[in-house]
Structure 1
């Protein structure tokens, strides 16, 4: 019985239309304790790649139908990072250069010593493992940088924010609740969260005499204030991780009926994330305490938002908003408040 468990064994795919070459390599690799899959053409090989957790591919270049270079291109699209070693009996330096330029991990010319193939496989798998670790470390460092950037921007926003305490965190949480209910996930969900958190980041560029003016703004001052989504958009577009969130920042004051700003977009012209956010923003405005009034209930917010469906808000998003139980909204709000209290303690 082998001392290597199946989960530890490497899975190798051989693609070669030469039966003798393919079966000889299979024999040698199985003897070296690899799990071997074999295909007589590229199409069959791609089917195996779709259905099996292949670790490395060895493919002939010149085959009927799809050739090895075409197979390599397909693998790079389907499984980026999967090592592919190309093999040919008609090799020259130009072909080797082409193979490596197009993404092959290695290149072998026939005739070759079949006993050296396991060494080549291990060399390429080890290289890929090291590359993956390096990529993971770089990704981790990039995420740390992104988090630090978000924290710095939020801190800067909080110094300029005239809204109630915790506004950005609450509207982000409300927006995420609705987005998840709509089935949004992955990168799109992350972009929506970041856009909601930083929706008012452009207020950093609004002069103090306008941002903190105790009375109503005059027409000229409103023109300047209404540019804060544009300023925020430009800021986000300068940071790679925030570019997908930038449209939400730009359009968070647009209205379904086209009466919003900065561009007066209407209906589906407004990005979905911004349409969701506008409801979250209104919920928080209605339910939060202000110096001149006490915050109202979620039920009152629901009634107000329902009245504005089709005018200020996307009617379909309003339906979704109304379908979420009041208790769920209150739980989200309480979780944000508890989190802020713990951080402040």
Structure 2
């Protein structure tokens, strides 16, 4: 299966995503912030990256920019616990997909959404001409 890097400052989120992905047969590595994530990313060959947008130090936008400088085609799933405010502020998940993320998930998300995002991103990575996909656009399978 895939080798996946999770960069998130919340240990509970890291553990949950890791457990779900490992149960699905993936190999998972975690990092607690953008700088540590970049160091791990430099030393490994990953198929997919889960990236929290809001972290102390280096945020997810800067981390994604630096990751894409090194490996432009790696699929990135951005995640955020900040609420999407209708009309009263920026939608950071949508902003991140416009800046290069393939998919996005609003915390809390359910296991089916997470696994569907992974499947969609890995499929999109096989055909680089695919357009970006958000969690809402991925059909959930059985």
The TM-score bracket by the shorter chain reads 0.7 to 0.9
When Rg is computed on C-alpha atoms for both structures, the one with the higher figure is: 1
Cα distance in 2 between the residues matched to 1:121 and 1:91:
22
After superposition, the C-alpha distances for 1:267-315 in whole angstroms (9 at most, x for unaligned) are: xxxxxxxxxxxxxxxxxxxxxxxxxxxxxxxxxxxxxxxxxxxxxxxxx
Matched, 1:34 2:14: no
Distance verdict in 2 for CA 1:21–1:80, change over 3 Å: same
Q: CA deviation at 1:116?
A: 2.8
The question of whether the paired residues in 2 share the 8 Å contact of 1:59 and 1:86 is answered with yes
Q: Corresponding residue for 2:45?
A: 53
Structure 2 segments unaligned to the other structure (5+ residues): 85-89, 131-142
Moved over 3 A (4+): none
Higher relative contact order (CA 8 A, sep 6+): 2
Q: Corresponding residue for 1:121?
A: 118
Tell me the SS of whatever aligns to 1:131.
Answer: coil
Tell me the SS of whatever aligns to 2:5.
Answer: strand
Residue in structure 1 matching 2:107, options 110, 123, 128 = 110
Q: CA deviation at 1:91?
A: 4.0
Q: Corresponding residue for 1:22?
A: 14
Cα distance in 2 between the residues matched to 1:126 and 1:60:
22
Residue in structure 1 matching 2:61, options 66, 69, 73 = 69
After superposition, the C-alpha distances for 1:95-153 in whole angstroms (9 at most, x for unaligned) are: 233111211111111111034312211111101211269xxxxxxxxxxxxxxxxxxxx
The question of whether the paired residues in 2 share the 8 Å contact of 1:59 and 1:68 is answered with yes
Cα distance in 1 between the residues matched to 2:19 and 2:59:
24
| TM-score, normalised via structure 2 length | 0.82
Structure with a larger share of its residues in strand: 2
Structure with a larger share of its residues in helix: 1
Alignment of 1:131-142 (within 5 A): 131=128
The question of whether the paired residues in 2 share the 8 Å contact of 1:28 and 1:115 is answered with no
The question of whether the paired residues in 2 share the 8 Å contact of 1:56 and 1:82 is answered with yes
Number of residues of Structure 1 aligned to a counterpart in Structure 2: 125
